[in-house]
Structure 1
Amino acid sequence: MFSGFDIIIPALVVLVLLVIFTGIKTVPQGFNYPVERFGRYTRTLAPGLNIIIPFVDRIGAKMNMMEQVLDVPTQEVITRDNAIVAVDGVAFYQVLNAPQAAYQVSGLQNAILNLTMTNIRSVMGSMDLDELLSNRDTINERLLRIVDEAASPWGIKMTRVEIKDINPPANLVESMARQMMAERNKRAQILEAEGLKQAQVLEAEGRREAAFRDAEARERAAEAEAKATQVVSEAIAKGDLQAINYFVAQKYTDALAKVASATNSKIVMMPLEASSLIGSLGGIGAIAKEVFGDAPAGTQRQAYRTPVVRQDDNQ
């Protein structure tokens, strides 16, 4: 039979083993465990194998030290211009100090959620609707700075606060669409008017440049005519009749060439003063004799031979 001593020894061994296993704590990676001794915080267990005093020390909280995501539910926000929009978001935070996160606030996630929602209403309510829709990055930056500063005493770090959706009412969206269409039509009309104005300016500049060049050409022609007239006048003043005959014959010949070149004339009526033209041609011949001297008779006849142009009966 077993004696009482034989029963007590195994019982003590089992009790010691239970106490030892109770005092051994394994902390997984990414967690920190604050330790309380008789209800008071004493130290924090890091990831790995740790030993505490059984029945004296206990684990106060199991704090997740990894970055965590917190969904911000949809809420209505009234903007500065009295527009009502539905807004939701997401917040990212990380516990940096496990004792502070465990003992400085009760219900850490609930506290972060309410803090974020309150500041969303505060920040977005101070902005107009157009500013709200076009400056989402600015809103996220302001929210992150404000919420991180408020949650810093809790031993956490707000890494990101993002606004996911901003949903105005349907009637407000329709009004915004009409406003956008009107603005685009306005821009199109302004661009069209600017293009028409530029085209008219360029056309006017082209006409001015053409008129300037025409005037310049007429001025050059007038200067040449004046120069020629001056030369003839000087020749007349010197008594050079041959120059006078040449000048008159040239003008007369030009006038007859213009009359003969008309497309609607079939018969050219020679004026009675045609003999004067012949006299002028005679003057030209005299000038040529003085300039070139006496040439062979055959050459002179060939030079002054008048070409004969025959016209068909059909003309």
Structure 2
Amino acid sequence: MNVELNQDFIVMVIWGLLFLVFILKLFQSIRLVPTKSAYVVERLGKYHCTLDAGFHALIPFVDKVAYIHDLKEETINVPPQECFSCDEVKVEVDGVIYMSVVDPVKASYGITDYRYAAIQLAQTTTRSVIGTLDLDRTFEERDVISAKVVEVLDQAGALWGIRVHRYEIKNITPPDTVKNAMEMQVNAERERRAVLAKSEGDKQSRINRSEGIKTEMINRSEGEMQKRINEAEGKAEEILTLSKATAESIERLAEVISAPGGQNALRMQLGEQYFKQFAALSQDGNRVILPGNMMDFEQWLTHVDLQQK
């Protein structure tokens, strides 16, 4: 009896375990796929279908979710690696790959590990591109390196079911000796630019001063020239006015002299002025010599002799 009970208990335990396994497999056959995810299903070890977002029911013990892929864009760090530039300088380069799965089937069966393969291909492509550039250009041609890596990864990604959106280089680190030499070069270039800027400023200031002095001298010379022109014109106008007045006075005097009694009037005026001059000379202490005949007025006019003491 005990043996039969033990056998019945063992059978019940086995059936219970089988039932639990069945229940477990039944629950595992129900799949809720999140958004931007893809489940690759195999039926009896062979690819069957790809489950998109939503509710799905599989056949227990027959269907199995072999691969789960996240379709969102992901970032993969590319570890630092040593590269040699065209001028034989060793630099350490690392970067970041931005990629996403576009074909879950190819990402599952086209390659063993697409992430590892993308990292390795990015490193080898980076080494190849940097090997064609000088050290100075490696810092300037980051976009060229990134574009080349993306191009190569896109070609391989078509077979791997992935799409590489972009590749960014994070750091390009040269050796300490090269870094010190670059710093010295940068400092020398800055000093050269400072000296050049100072010399340019000094040159410009001297040019400005000379231009100011030149303009001042021109203005002064033009002012002096205009002053002299104005004075000359004033003198010419004065001379012209005096000559016109003298001519008019001579013409009027001639008219008066030619008129009847004009010569007598002229003689009387000359005699009056003559006596006034006598009075002025005598006041200054001068000796005046008079003609012998005081009544001969013609003799006065022609033989006046003044001697100063």
Report the counterpart of residue 213 of structure 1 in structure 2.
219
When normalised by structure 2's length, the TM-score is: 0.66
Shift of 1:31: 4.1
When structure 1 is superposed on structure 2, of 123-132 and 204-213 the one drifting more is 123-132
Question: What amino acid does structure 2 have at the position aligned with 1:26?
Answer: R
Distance 2:13 2:184 in 1: 88
Report the counterpart of residue 57 of structure 1 in structure 2.
63
State whether structure 2 residue 132 is matched by structure 1 residue 126.
yes
Report the counterpart of residue 99 of structure 1 in structure 2.
105
Report the counterpart of residue 110 of structure 1 in structure 2.
116
Shift of 1:203: 1.6
When normalised by structure 1's length, the TM-score is: 0.65
Identity %: 31
Shift of 1:27: 4.7
Q: How many residues align?
A: 243
The structure with the larger Rg is 2
Whether contact under 8 Å (2:33, 2:51) holds in the other structure is no
Report the counterpart of residue 31 of structure 2 in structure 1.
26
Whether contact under 8 Å (1:78, 1:84) holds in the other structure is yes
Report the counterpart of residue 206 of structure 2 in structure 1.
200
Tell me: CA distance 1:230–1:156, structure 2 relative to 1, closer, same or farther (3 Å): same
Tell me: CA distance 1:32–1:214, structure 2 relative to 1, closer, same or farther (3 Å): closer
Report the counterpart of residue 253 of structure 2 in structure 1.
none
Question: What amino acid does structure 1 have at the position aligned with 2:160?
Answer: W
Distance 2:137 2:199 in 1: 30
SS at match of 1:115: helix
When structure 1 is superposed on structure 2, of 203-212 and 97-106 the one drifting more is 203-212
Deviation string, structure 1 residues 113-169 (Cα, Å, up to 9, x no partner): 111111221233333322322343454344334323321321112234222221111
Whether contact under 8 Å (1:79, 1:128) holds in the other structure is yes
SS at match of 1:61: strand
Alignment map for 1:1-315 (pairs within 5 Å): 15=18, 18-19=21-22, 21-23=24-26, 24-27=29-32, 29=34, 31-47=37-53, 49-234=55-240, 237=243, 240=246
Distance 2:94 2:134 in 1: 18
Unaligned runs of 5+ in 1: 242-278, 280-315
Shift of 1:77: 1.3
SS at match of 1:62: strand
SS at match of 2:67: coil
